[in-house]
Amino acid sequence: MIEFRDVSKTFGQGRSSVTALDGIDLRIAEHEMFGVVGESGSGKSTLLRLINHLETPTTGTVLVDGEEQAALPARERRRRRQDIGMVFQQFNLLANSTVLDNVAMPLRLRGRRGREQALQMLEFVNMAHHRHQHPSRLSGGEKQRVAIARALTARPRILLADEPTSALDSGHTEEVMAVLQEVRTIFRTTIVLVSHELEVIKSSCDRAAVLERGRLAALTDVTAPPPRRRSGSYAVRAREYLA
Ligand SMILES: Nc1ncnc2c1ncn2[C@@H]1O[C@H](COP(=O)(O)OP(=O)(O)OP(=O)(O)O)[C@@H](O)[C@H]1O
Ligand SMILES: [Mg+2]
């Protein structure tokens, strides 16, 4: 369980400060596929980065499994962070390493025999046959599947995905979303999915948070068919479309 208790995050000080998140209260359940939508700058990435402690709240508390990470010693925080995987819009693969080395990287850094496990994860995302290639030879969808395999090698209980399909065409988007669904079903991973693409959230998430200028504009169950009305602000349309 991930819990935000009245969380605000401000960057900078004085007149040049930016409030990225403002009074967020939120609970994300185990094994949930939870969507986060909102316009550019509404605080989506900041919200994700608070979950894996890449950012600390200015005020309020973020709890993961009832623990407040900010209160833990640095070594414990690093250990907890390994329980949380992350994938990004731009894949962040190492260009000069093979697919297999990219996926084995986090395991080898921790001194384990990683290649076998890495290969297993590549099989899971159906990329084992490309293991000796370099990322530049792959399509965007293939790169993202490799990045997902890499995030899974540490067997995280939570996977954070920041616009994982935003650089992809619709075919590759479906392919990557299908993999994320399987991750959730097979590994029972809690997934927090940030996307500005409402269809992606609509087709895959149980619930979604709509952010508007750092505030939680809506928290909605993603179930009913989309409404016809297509006017109003992004937050209003998002809430109507998703609910
Ligand atoms: N490290 C930082 N230093 C200063 N300002 C920041 C920092 N990170 C984020 N911000 C600001 O906080 C606000 C929210 O940023 P955030 O990246 O969370 O938005 P986002 O919803 O992910 O946007 P996008 O859709 O463009 O990725 C923005 O105004 C941004 O400029
Ligand atoms: Mg972002």
Q: Which atom of ligand 1 is nearest to the CA of 194?
A: 22
Tell me which residue has its CA closest to atom 11 in ligand 1. 20
Residue 99 — φ and ψ, nearest 5°? -55, -45
pLDDT of res. 80: 86
- pTM for the structure as a whole: 0.90
Per-residue pLDDT of the chain (243 residues; tens, 9 = 90+): 999 999 999 999 888 999 999 999 999 999 999 999 999 999 999 999 999 988 999 999 999 999 998 788 888 888 888 889 999 999 999 999 999 999 998 776 555 577 888 999 999 999 999 999 999 999 999 999 999 999 998 889 999 999 999 999 999 999 999 999 999 999 999 999 999 999 999 999 999 999 999 999 999 998 755 555 556 788 888 888 887
Distance 45 CA to ligand 1 centre (A): 7
Which residues sit opposite 3 in a β-bridge? 27, 63
The rounded Å distance from CA 40 to ligand 1 centre is: 8
**pLDDT at position 230, please?**
58
* Spatial contact of 61 and 36, defined as CB atoms under 8 Å apart: no
**pLDDT for the residue numbered 77:** 84
Residue 220 is predicted with a pLDDT of 92
Give the closest residue to 179 by CA, choosing from 169, 166, 164.
164
Q: How far does residue 215's CA lie from ligand 1's centre (Å)? A: 13
Q: Are 165 and 177 in contact (CB under 8 A)?
A: yes
Question: What is the atom index within ligand 1 of the atom nearest the CA of 21?
Answer: 14
Q: Hey, whose CA ends up nearest to atom 18 of ligand 1?
A: 43
- Answer yes or no: are the C-beta atoms of 3 and 26 closer than 8 Å: yes
**Stretch (H or E) spanning 88:** strand 84-88
Give the residue whose CA is nearest to atom 1 of ligand 1. Answer: 11
Whether ligand 1 lies within 6 angstroms of the CB of 20 is answered as yes
Query: Residue 35: phi, psi to the nearest 5?
Result: -95, 150
Which whole-number Å values give the CA distances from 161 to 6, 154, 198, in the listed order? Answer: 23, 15, 15
Kindly give the residue spans of alpha helices, DSSP state H, lying in the chain. Answer: 44-51, 74-81, 99-109, 115-124, 140-152, 170-187, 198-204, 234-242
Instruction: Supply the pLDDT for residue 110.
Output: 59
Distance between CA atoms of 48 and 64, rounded to whole angstroms? 12
3-state secondary structure of 223: coil
